Structure 1
Amino acid sequence: MRDPNGRGNAERRSKPRKRRRESYEDEETRVYSPGVGKVERRRRKPWKMILGFVLIIVAVAALSAVLGAYNFMKTLNPGTGSLEAAQEPAPSERTNILILGIDGGVNGNGDKLGRGPKRSDTMVVVSVDPDLKKVGVLSIPRDTRVRIPGRSGYDKIAHAHAYGGPELAMKTVEEFLGVPIHYYARADFEGFAKIIDTLGGIEMDVEKDMHYEDPAQGLKINLKAGRQVLDGDKALQFVRYRQYPNGDIGRVRAQQKFFAAVIDKFFQMKTVWKLPSLASQIKECLETNMDPEDMVRLGSILARMDTNSIEMAMVPGRDAMITDKGHTLSYWVADKPELQKVVDRLLRGIDKDANSLIKVDVLNGTGVAGLARALAERLAEEGYTINSVGNFSTQDIKQTRILNHMEDSDAANSVARALRRQGIQARIYRDVKLGEEGDVKVTVVVGEDFAEKAGDGGTEDGETP
Structure 2
Amino acid sequence: MLEVIELYKNLPIPPQKPKKKSPLSKRNRSNRTSKISIPPLPLTLRLARLLFGSFTLLLIATLSLTLGAIIAVFDAKVTDTVPDWRQSWVQTDSPLPSLRLSRTLNLLVLGIEEGVTPTTGSQSSLPKPAETLWLMRFDPVKNAVSVLLIPPQTRVEIPDRGRNPIASAHSMGGVTLTSRVLSQTLNSIPIDRYIRADAATFRSFIDLLGGVELFVPESVSYQDSTQGISVNLQPGWQTLKGEETLGFARFQKKEADRSSIHRQQMILQSVGDRLASPTLGSQLPRIVQLMHEYIDTNLTLEEFFGLVNLLQHRSPDGLKMVLLPGEFTTRRSAPTPYWNIDTTGRDRVMYHYFDQELNPGAQRDRALSPNSPRTLKIALQNASGNPLILGQMLAELKSRGYRNVYPISDWPDPQRQTQIIIQTGDITAATTLKTLLPTAQFQSSSLGDLESEITLRIGEDAVSFKERYWAE
What TM bracket, shorter-length normalisation? 0.5 to 0.7
**Alignment of structure 1 residues 435-454 onto 2, 5 Å:** none
Q: Match for residue 62 of structure 1?
A: none
Q: Match for residue 271 of structure 2?
A: 262
| AA matched with 1:313 | V
SS in 2 for 1:197: helix
Cα deviation for residue 46 of structure 1 reads 5.9
Q: Deviations over 1:263-297 (max 9, x none)?
A: 22222222112122212222222110122243345
Within the alignment, does 1:127 sit opposite 2:150 as a pair? no
Cα deviation for residue 134 of structure 1 reads 2.2
Distance 2:169 2:210 in 1: 35
Q: Deviations over 1:407-429 (max 9, x none)?
A: xxxxxxxxxxxxxxxxxxxxxxx
Provide closer, same or farther for how the CA distance between residues 289 and 323 of structure 1 changes in structure 2, counting only shifts above 3 A: farther
Work out which of the residue numbers 173, 178, 181 in structure 1 matches 2:182: 173
| AA matched with 1:345 | H
| AA matched with 1:269 | P
Work out which of the residue numbers 272, 283, 288 in structure 2 matches 1:279: 288
Cα deviation for residue 302 of structure 1 reads 5.0
**Alignment of structure 1 residues 27-426 onto 2, 5 Å:** 43=84, 72-73=95-96, 93-107=103-117, 116-152=126-162, 154-178=163-187, 179-215=189-225, 220-243=230-253, 247-298=256-307, 304-324=313-333, 327-348=334-355
Q: Deviations over 1:132-167 (max 9, x none)?
A: 332110000111111123312x11111111111111
Q: Match for residue 356 of structure 1?
A: none
**Which protein shows a greater Rg?**
2
Distance 2:126 2:147 in 1: 28
Aligned length: 282
Contact 2:222 2:230 in 1 (8 A): yes
Provide closer, same or farther for how the CA distance between residues 166 and 380 of structure 1 changes in structure 2, counting only shifts above 3 A: same
User: Where do 5+ consecutive residues of structure 2 fail to align?
Assistant: 1-79, 120-124, 370-472
SS in 1 for 2:332: strand
Cα deviation for residue 202 of structure 1 reads 1.5
Cα deviation for residue 184 of structure 1 reads 0.7
Distance 2:364 2:185 in 1: 23
| AA matched with 2:355 | R
Contact 1:202 1:229 in 2 (8 A): yes
Provide closer, same or farther for how the CA distance between residues 130 and 146 of structure 1 changes in structure 2, counting only shifts above 3 A: same
Provide closer, same or farther for how the CA distance between residues 164 and 72 of structure 1 changes in structure 2, counting only shifts above 3 A: same
Distance 1:141 1:329 in 2: 14
SS in 2 for 1:276: helix
Cα deviation for residue 321 of structure 1 reads 0.6
Q: Deviations over 1:365-385 (max 9, x none)?
A: xxxxxxxxx99999999979x
Distance 1:50 1:118 in 2: 35
Cα deviation for residue 131 of structure 1 reads 3.1
Contact 1:143 1:157 in 2 (8 A): yes
Provide closer, same or farther for how the CA distance between residues 220 and 338 of structure 1 changes in structure 2, counting only shifts above 3 A: same
SS in 1 for 2:117: coil
| AA matched with 2:259 | G
Provide closer, same or farther for how the CA distance between residues 251 and 378 of structure 1 changes in structure 2, counting only shifts above 3 A: closer
RMSD across aligned positions (CA) = 3.9
Contact 2:133 2:152 in 1 (8 A): yes
Provide closer, same or farther for how the CA distance between residues 225 and 181 of structure 1 changes in structure 2, counting only shifts above 3 A: same
Contact 1:170 1:181 in 2 (8 A): yes
Contact 1:48 1:74 in 2 (8 A): no
Contact 2:212 2:274 in 1 (8 A): yes
SS in 2 for 1:308: coil
| AA matched with 1:337 | T
Contact 1:50 1:73 in 2 (8 A): no
Cα deviation for residue 108 of structure 1 reads 7.0
SS in 1 for 2:303: helix
Provide closer, same or farther for how the CA distance between residues 224 and 105 of structure 1 changes in structure 2, counting only shifts above 3 A: farther
Cα deviation for residue 334 of structure 1 reads 1.0
Cα deviation for residue 230 of structure 1 reads 0.8
Provide closer, same or farther for how the CA distance between residues 215 and 126 of structure 1 changes in structure 2, counting only shifts above 3 A: same
Relative to the length of structure 1, the TM-score reads 0.53
Q: Match for residue 410 of structure 1?
A: none
SS in 2 for 1:242: coil
Distance 2:326 2:367 in 1: 22
Q: Deviations over 1:35-62 (max 9, x none)?
A: xxxx9966458698999xxxxxxxxxxx
SS in 1 for 2:152: coil
| AA matched with 1:346 | Y
SS in 2 for 1:106: coil
| AA matched with 1:169 | T
Q: Deviations over 1:201-253 (max 9, x none)?
A: 12222122222445566665433333322111101101111226x84411111
Relative to the length of structure 2, the TM-score reads 0.52
Distance 2:136 2:264 in 1: 15
SS in 2 for 1:120: coil
Identity %: 28
Distance 1:182 1:45 in 2: 22
Distance 1:253 1:49 in 2: 39
Provide closer, same or farther for how the CA distance between residues 303 and 256 of structure 1 changes in structure 2, counting only shifts above 3 A: closer
Contact 2:144 2:310 in 1 (8 A): no
